[in-house]
Every structure is written in structure tokens, then in C-alpha cells.
Chains A and B, each alone.
Chain A
Amino acid sequence: MAVPVSDTPANVVSAALPDPVVSVRGLWKVFGRRAEQVPGSSALSALSRQELLRRTGCTVAVHDLDFDVASGEMFVVMGLSGSGKSTLVRCLTRLVEPTAGEIVFEGEDLLAADTRRLRDLRRGKFSMVFQHFGLLPHRQVIDNVGYGLEVRGVRRAERIRRAMEVIELVGLSGHERMYPDQLSGGMQQRVGLARALAGDPDVLFFDEPFSALDPLIRRDMQNEIIRLHREVGKTMVFITHDLSEALKLGDRILIMRDGKQVQLGAGYELVANPADDYVRDFVRDVPRADVLTLECIVRPPRPDDPMDGPELDADVVVREATRRVLASGKPPRSPVTATCSASSATKRSSRSSPAPTARPGPTATPALTATPPRLGAAPDGDRHPDGRGAPTAPRPRADRRWRRRGVARGLVAAARRPHPGAQPRATHRPAPAAQRGERRDRRQPGRQPGLRLLLRRHPGGGRRVRDVRPVADREALVRPADPGPRVARGRGARGVPLPCLRQRPALLTAAGLVFLGLQGLWRESMDTLALTIAAALLVSIPLGIWAGLSERFHRLVTPALDFMQTMPTFVYLAPLTLFFLIGPASATIATMIYAAPPVIRLTAHGIRSVPAETVEASESLGATGRQTLLKVLLPSARRTIVLGVNQTIMAALAMVTIAALIDAPGLGKTVIRAMQLLDVGTAFNAGLAIVVLAIVLDRVTTAAATRSADPTAPGGLRKPALIAGGVLTVVTVWFSRTYVWAAEFPSQVGGANVELGSSIALATSSATTWVQDNFAVLTTGAKNVLTALLVDPLQTLLTDSPWWLAFAVIVALAAVLGSLRAAAVAAVCLALMIASGLWEDSMATLAWTLVATAMVMLIGVVLGVWMGRNAHLDRIIRPVLDAGQVMPPFVYLVPFLALFEAGRFTAIMAAVVYATPVATKIVADGIRGVPTATVEAASAYGSSGWQTIVKVQLPMARRALALAANQGLIYVLSMVVVGGLVGAQALGYDVVAGFNQGQLYGKGLAAGFAIVLLGVMLDRTAQAATRRAGRGT
């Protein structure tokens, strides 16, 4: 009896509803180059998705869709991932521009709307709820909810009032001042929902809003949506991949596959009447008895049927009917007008129009036979995927009214044992097409009363949400069983440390600044601070923002940043002074070239990694580009940006001494001057000041990155405090400009000398002298042995082998350790080195930098593992590492020269001091990142400490180790020039000499490039090796 469901494709029925809210015709979205050729071409559009991708490189996400959404309807779009449903909903809101087709929204051509009109529509007419919520993490719930109103320019008081209403509506009262990360997933989505409702739109779009939630929460949220739909009567378009969700919520369901419509109809129609195997597969596990209604399974009475059974409505689901029928023991009767044929759209709109009493197709045939296995297995409805049991009462749903109809009697449902094997589809022999069309025509007007009914239920046409129902009543409705504990924990966790977070940096800053003053370096420190901040932030952050927003600029700027970071500063120091004159300006630019890359990179990265949904959420609420940037992108990326600022400040401080060579004011000058006299003490004093500045700036910026405004602190005091601070600043500036006592840091207090600088200098000098005198013999011995054992053989190998041999070996190594691509890069770099005539110098430099990197890694791994396993030690060592990173190398070079004499080994030691901190920190972080559970598991199996390190922690921190090696290498390379100052010769000396002697400038420049080439070569190889390590086992 397998009769085809319908003799026309299912999507024919999707045709027009009168007066739809959203009307879609011929909608296409194709991704790829020249996408617009696809919809127009019948040849191309006939291709399968894979075929099209292969032939044109285009992917079809939405394939020629037609459908209407009625006012007040809950329209569900369902499909598996990749079926194009999310793209579809984004096309409907024009977050994604459709390739072809027509979208009419409330009679207006949406695709014709210009940016301004579109923004107005988004602000007022429709809004969207996102899968991953798309909330702004830096805003409290109330400000998240009010965001859409804010971008519209609604006053704050009005915004808050309205937001509070909606928050109450979605059941979040009491949570207004929380931050999203303090809420559970379900509550966050309630915020998303409230945000969408706040603007009182006509249509709500939901993009898989509950798929990121736990099953239990999901059920609550579904109920919540049902409740809201009933209360506010909005038209809703709901995307999901979950069939049970679609069936539970949808008035009608559009099933999509590969961008195409597979079937459109009410839930029971899909279940009873799947259009093809794809849909059949979907609905296979749906407990039909829960979905199908009597109208799907009834047959006309036969003469011998007893007609005294219970009378049941046609829209009673089968499971319920079964129970009642079994109780009565007699076949029930049911008044049925239409069947659950595929022509749902028309049928739905027909609820109030009387149907013909006698109709050819569906009036006959076997009844409960339709779903024998399911009926038999009725209890397993309790194991329905979403945990929903059998509905014991007619579903409290708005859509129910769609099914109620004035009915002719006389049809009887048989309550006998069904005959097995009967096909449900056989029940619905479709009416001939012409007849169906006629029926549709007749029934269309009937849709209106339903709509009016809907509106009547909601005074104010569903617009005045808060008037809908008294609060208490609303409370009684589906209430979230939602969590308090997590919130409470969040509160507690934030309540305590916040004051510390705020005060500690302040105390540290105060202490640090006083210390600088006591060192007698107040003025110099302030010059340095000004230079650093100017260089770090003024230009770089805007550049970073640009790179974050523009893919093209990002691609353009990335290689430039690589270049800036590896090019030795000496190379551009002299030419810069030609363009920008001598002094602070040039120094600032030189510092910027060296120091800006991290903040540019990280700002761009921060902006680029703001979740797409968050940005879309903002756009979908009608925010302008500028509003999205200022209110969403920048605040969300704040942590990353501050991290970049932090790194840039560190780099700028490292440049201080170099910049002093072109008359940059500040501490660098003091260091340089002391170096001329080999006055280690004074240089150390100034170096210490740089370290203090660095630590203060580091801790302050870190605190700024982790700080999140205290939810309990009233925000209103910030502004007056800032104003008072500003006034105070102006007053004190005036004083310092007028009175000498206010302008200078006092070196004496009450007659006592408080200047510490000279004592520090003196103590350091004598300590250094002592070390030099007592250890020189020892260190010279160590130097000689290590140089002979490590550096010399490698250098001999590299420089004395024929160049082509060394060339081939290095390229081969790059291929083996890294990738073919890395090998190609290495070959190009080496060829350029040969071309520059600096082959031998390059190889000599390579030799000692490799040795230095190996030593850095050795120390870094030992120290890093130790620190990673011991938080106490970490706290002690970390400041020392910070100091090693920012203390100007010049300071320790002099004692090193005394201990190790001028030579490659001294350069290696300087590089090790400079590069070890970075490597150590990365390793320590990597070790700490190994999940505690894994380490505990290892211990539980009786691993010794050593076994845990070697077999668990180090292998799991493999990526961190590779990264540490890479960074260590880059840092070592950046010390090549400094190495040249202490006898490493080769490229480093070439650069230094080039800076100092005009006639050597060309060679110095070439040497600078050669260093960059070495850097690029080693970096690419190391990166490829890292990727391999990350992949391999």
C-alpha cells in the first residue's frame, strides 16, 4: 500500500501565505569567488554541493528557498550542521548578504534597504538570539540587555527601566548586576533573550539558542520560549538541529539539507509523512504516539463498527487516545476534517473555516495501525531525548488553536488491535493537486481570525510586554530550576580579592616611585617613562585596531612586524636621525619600531578573536561600526590589548639604552655615561631604576587586564574621583612649575640624607670588584673549556666546510626537523647570505647563537620545571627573571668582560642572561598547564617525582617547550649586536662598526639583514618543528 505521499515535491506547498511577516523567494547564498554566477546558471545550480565545490570553488549554503512566515508564528528551521540553516537566518537579518533572491520584511524589500535603513530595521523591527549567547563579557547583565537601546540612543534611565522589565520577564530578577561569566549557560541565554526582547522587535530570530546548554536547562529554556511566545506573541524564527526541539516548539518546521528545502510542514506531518528518506531518517526515532494526532490515523466508520466509544478530539495525540481507548475498551470516535497531509500551510490557516464533510482522500482507512511498534512501546516515550514524558494534557500551546476546527462528525477511530504492517501514509492519499489548490484558496482568508485571536490575547498587540500578566502569575509559569550556587560562588570569589587587586598595584607603584626618587634618578626615570609610553601606545594601538578590523592590512603588516622585531636596532638608528632629527623624536620612533610590534599584534589578535557572534549580536541590534568598535570590540579585547601594552612597555624599556645613543633623554643616558667610565655601580643604579619602572608598569598593566569592575561597587563614583584627581593634578603641576621645592625630588628630609643611589652604586661596585677578583681564574677556565668543547667545533664545522656543504646540510636539517616549506625558506635565506658576502660571518654568528640557545633551553627547562611544580619558588624567582629581561645588558657586560674576557663566550653569557627568563617562564607556564588530574593519575599509579616529570609533564608540555625554544632563539638573536660589543665579532661587530664608521655603513646594513635572515630561517624551521611536535605523538 505504499502510495507516494504526494505527487508534487513537498516544497511546492511552501507557497505564499497572505500578508506574511517575512516572505522569502528564490533565496540563494553562495560562498566563494564569483558566487553570483551560480544562482543564475541552471547548469551550475543543478550540481551537487561537492561537485560545485570541485568545479567552481563555490559552496552553496542556501539553495533557492521559498517560504513565508506568518505573523505570530513559531517557524522552525531544522537541519544538520552544514545544512545552511545558520546562514539562512543570517541572510534574513542581512548579517550575511544573500547572493540572490528576495526577502520581504513586513512588506518592505529587505535587500534594497541601505545601511542606514537596515540599521533602523535592526534597531526596531527584528532582533536575534545566538547559539553562544554573544554577550559582552565586560558588561553587567543590565547593560547587556540595554545594549540595543543604548545604540539607539535611549537615555540611561529609560534604558534601565526597560531592561529591568525584560530581565524580570525572562526570570533573571536579582541578577542584573552580575557579569555574564558569573552566570550559568542557561541564565546567559536568558540574558541573550532579554537583550533581543528589550527593543520590542516584531520578529525574533533564534540561531540554535539552546544547543550549547545542558539537556535539563535546555528543556527549561524551551518551555520558557513557549511561555514567552504565548505571552508576547512575537513572530519567531527558530533554528535548531534538534528534531525533538523543533517538534516541541514549531508551528511549522522547515527541514533543510545542503541548503535546500526538503520539507515544510507541521511536526506531525513530518513524522507521519516524511517527504523523503532524509526526513524519514530524522523522524525514525520520534515516538510517533507523542506527535501524531488522531486525525492522522483515523478511518471512516464501517457499517459494523460500534459507534458508542468515547468521542475524542481530532488533535489528541495518539498516546493519550490510546490510554483512554484502552480504558473504555471501545473504539473511539473522532471528528476529523482534514488529514495530516503535507499541505500543512494551507491546513493551518484553515482552522476556522468549515471543512467539507465528505472528502475523497483522507476520510477512510485503518487507524491506530499507523504506529504499532510505537504504541506498543509507549513507555519509552519517557526516554525521549529531551526527557519529556508523554503529555498528559493537551499541550498548553498557542499552536493548538491552529488545529482546532469546527468539525463534521461521524468518523470513528477504531480501537481494535491494529493490523500490523499497515502503512500510515496509506491513510492520506493526497487530494489531486487541483483540488488541493482550490482548498487552499478557499481557506486562506480564514487565517485572519486566528491572527486576531492571537493579538487579542495580548493587550497592546503583543507590544507592551510587561502588561501581559501579573508577575505572580508569571512566576508560576515554567520557572527555571536554575542554579544559585554558581552565582554565589562567583560572588564570594570576587568579593574578597578585588580590593587587594586594586590596592596592591597602587601600593607597589607608590613604593616604586619613591624608590626611584631615593635613587636620585627621578627626572631621568620620568623622561624614560614618558618616552616609553609615547612610543608604546600613541600610534601602535590604532594601528593594531586597524589590523584587527582589516584583513588586508593585517596581511600587509604581519611581515613588516616580523622584520621590525628582528632587524637590529643599530641598523636603523643612524638613518632615522636623518629623517627625524636627533633627539626625543627620533628616539621615540626608534623605540617604536622596536617595541610596537607586540601591541600591534596583540591588539589585532584581541579584536580578531572577539567571538563572531558577539560582533553579530551587536550588529543585529543595529549598532554602527563605530559603536561596535567602542562598545564591543575594544572592551572585549581589553585583556589581550593590555597584555600587548605590557609586552611593548617591556620592549621599550629594553630599548632605553640604545635610544640614548641618539640623545633620548632618560635613564639610558645615565647607563651609557656610566659605561664610558666602566662605572658598574652607577650603571647598575640606573639599570635598577629601569627594572623598578618595568616591574611597576608590568604589575599595573597586568592588574588592569585581570580587573573586572566590582559588581557591588557603584559605578557612579568613578567619574567624580577622576575629576578630583584631574584637578589635583593640575594644581600640583602648577606648583611644580612655580616652586623649586615642588619640582625636585628631595634628597634630604629633615637634614638626613635620604639619597640611596650613591650607596647602591658603591655597594654594587665593591661587590663586582670582589667577584671579579675572586672568580676570574675560575671563570676563565670555564670559558676556555666550554669554548673549546662547544663553540669551536660547531663554528669550525660551519665556517670551514665548503659553503655548499654547509648549505645543503642546513637545508636538509630544516626539511627533516621542520617541513619542506621551512627548507625552502632556509635555502632562500642562505642564498641571500651568500649573496651579501657575509657567509662566513653569518655562520660564525649562527654557531654561537645555537650554543647560546641550547644553554638557554637547558637552564630554562630545569628552572621552568622546578618553578612549574613549585608555586613558592615561582614567586621568588619571577622578579629575578623580570630583572634579567629588562636590566640593560650594558650593565652586566662590564663584569662579564672582567670575568670572561672579550670573546664569543661572553656574548653567549649575555645572551643567556637575556633570553633565559622568557624560555623559563614559558616552560613554567606549560608545566603548570598540564591538567592536575593527569598528574594526580600519574602519582596514583606510583610514579616517582622524576617519572612524573619525564613521562607526563614534559611530554604534555611539549608545545610549550617548542615555543620556549623558538622564543629563546629569537631573544638570543636580538643579542647578536650586543654580542658584537663584547668580542663575539662576526655579524654583531659588523653592525656596530657600521653604525660607528660611515664607510662601513653598507657592510653594517648587510650584516643587519643577515641577522634578520638568520632569524627568519631559524624561526620558520622552529615553527614548523613546533607544529610537527604538536601533531606527532
Chain B
Amino acid sequence: MHQYKLNGYNIVLDEYSGSIHSVDDLAYDIISLYKEKNENEIIELMLNKYKADETITKEEIKNCIEDIKELEKQNKLFSKDNYENYAFDFKNKHKEIKALCLHVAHTCNLNCEYCFASQGKYHGERALMNFEVGKQALDYLIANSGTRHNLEVDFFGGEPLMNFKVVKELVKYARKQEKKYNKNFRFTLTTNGLLINDEVIDFANREMSNVVLSLDGRKSVHDSLRKTITGEGSYDIIIPKFKKLVEARNGKNYYIRGTFTHNNTDFTKDILHMADLGFKELSMEPVVCSPNEPYALTEQDLPIIKKQYELLAKEMLKRNKEENGFTFYHFMLDLEHGPCVYKRITGCGSGTEYLAVTPWGDLYPCHQFVGDEKFKLGDVFKGINNTKVQDEFRKCNAYARNECKNCWAKLYCSGGCAANSYHATGDIKGVYKYGCELFKKRIECAIMMKVAQNHENME
């Protein structure tokens, strides 16, 4: 159970059933006391607290308690956690791979200061994936995907468009395999945009299910960290290219994706800048880096960032009303058709159903572990031989950490990102507390927006 107040709404989330209730002050207070006090104690406390309100009588309080009892009976309040055993079963039963992050280029035409991939090289040599390695990776994915029909491949880097010829060849090869093996490839591309041209736009709109376009927001913010090799800002080069690509995609199936740092903790302004440029599918991530970097987020930034998320949620509701809305990736919740418990428990599947492939075919648990030799799992030619590391990832789930046992958000974060945990604590099953705080605030905002929309629909 999680109760909170935000933007004038009293919200109650029943974690294990997924139920969400918007309640008045009296119900909010009774629910918070329901498991600690008996009925008479609750009545006495409420009569005392609301003595100035003539409408709150003993009868009213009793009725409210009855409503809560009924919801408890329906498993919509105070529901029990019956999922823990499923967590460890699922990953042991399912050994299929369904997604690859193909590092087609370990090189980049930008020199972004905060790049976790160390200017695209991942602390190694510059390299481009050749067709043979990419083909073997796709064959490996098909051969190890079992009965999975939907397979996903992200073209990643570095800057993947620096190896555009191979990207095109690999897509062509994969499409030929689809019918043969009854598979459906879903391709995505993550690019800084510098090399976008008409051919890229035509290809992306024909073959890419989603395109992730890197933009940090306002020109001054973007250009301060996302510089060309010669040290100039890249904003003016990429904006017209992004606009052209998005327009050609009919404004669908893309994300403008930014990173915010200590330098722009007022990042809501950057998101609104993206929206004002005409982009409607937006994402903005907190920078993940060494705490020694001058742009690293600090403890002092935390309350500021949380306020920014609240500000963003309120602004989005306002713009939705004005029919000028936009989507923010981390506020997207599908309450009626969201993921099943298995998915919520197991998360992104890094190291098990999701792997990263280097330009020379080495396999890693995900793109954020590439270049760290102790996490190398094997390669696409001989398969996985480092089962010890893979078993560690198999144990990663929403129930893997004692600290998360009583956390209301674990069926939303699935235990969090293994890479963030590792970089923050040195253990993939550690707890990246800063990330938890931000995640919980984002979910609170997302649920509040759903509640607000529900109220609006009722009116």
C-alpha cells in the first residue's frame, strides 16, 4: 500500500493488485489507520479530527469503513504479495533471447562530455561491425529465441549511422529470415542526428519501428556538452534534420531523448523547449556518471529534480486540456493494458533475454557493461560460456534485494537497472538509492496524471 497527496489529489495505490483509488480526506485518513487501529478507535479519532465538519458523522465514518472492507474483500486494498516465488522460477524456465543491442559502431562524430561510452569507444579501440559479425549475431538471436515471435534489434553505438551501409545490409538479411523462421523483427535506431539525410529518413521510416534522437533541450544546454569533434555545438545542425525526419514519420514512433545534468536541474524547461519545437514524443534521463564529474547530480539536486517532475506533470495536464499535449516517456502508464506480473518482476531482461553485441561479436549483459571485460558473457560465434555471470543476472529481479522487500514501487521498477546498481554500489544487486528516489517520484506523478484525467472524464 502506498498513499500520497499530489496536486490536490489523495491517492492510494494497492501495490499487489495494481488498484488505484482517488479518495477524499476522510477515506485517506481511515485507510492509513485501518490496519493499526480498531473500528471504534478510528471512529473516535476521525470524529475528533473532523469535529468542525458537520457532514462527517459517526454514520458517515462507519459507511466509509464498510466501503474499505468491501474493497479489501475484492482484493483491491491491502492485497497480499503472492508473487515472490514466480520471480526466480520465470528466469530459470525461460532461457530464450529476444533482443539484441547491436553496437555497429564503436566510434562517434560527436564528443559529448558525459558519454558513458567514452566518446563511443567504450574504453577500447575505434571499430565498425562488419556484415559477417552482424549476420552471425542475427542468426544467433534467431537460433536462441525459441518460440518467441517478436524479436528486437537496436542499432546502437557510438553513432550507428557511421556504419549505415552495414545497418542496411543487416536489415535486408533479417527481413529475409522472418518468413523462414516465423519471426517478426522490430528494429530501432539510436542516433545523434548528424548524419541524417534523405536516404536515412527514407530507410528509417520504412524499416525502423522506433527512432531515438538525442537532444538535450535548449540550445545553450545542448551545446554545452554535446559538441562536435572540433568543439562546436551540434544543436543548429541536428534540429532541422530531426524536424524533417519526424515530419516524414507523420510524428509517430520516435523519441526525442535528452540527458539532464547538474548544469540544468531546471530540465522541465528543456522538455518544454522540445515540445515548443513541435516534438511530441519526449524522454529525458538523469545523467549517470562518476560523482567526481562537475556535471554529476548531487544530493542537493534531488529535491529540485523531484519538484521539476511535479512541475512537468502539471504542465502536461494543462497542455493536454489545451489540446497541445505531449508524451513524456517516464509518465507513460497503461493502467488497463500494462505488463503482467512476470514482466514486472523480471524487468528489462539484461544478461538473459537482452544482450549487447560488440563490433567484433562479443556478448555483454547490456550496452552499459560493454568494455568491462569481467562482464563478457561469450560471443555470437560460440555462444555464452560465462554462465557464472549470466546466472547472477538471472537472479536479478524485483525480489532480489532485501532493501526492496517493502518498497511500493518494485512492481513498477522491477528492481531497477543492474548497470546503475553496479556503477553506484559495485554490485548488480546493489541499490542505487538516488535512482530509486527519482523513479518513485516519476511513478507518483504518472499515477497522479491518470487520476486527474479520470476526474476530468467524470466531470
Genuine A/B complex: no
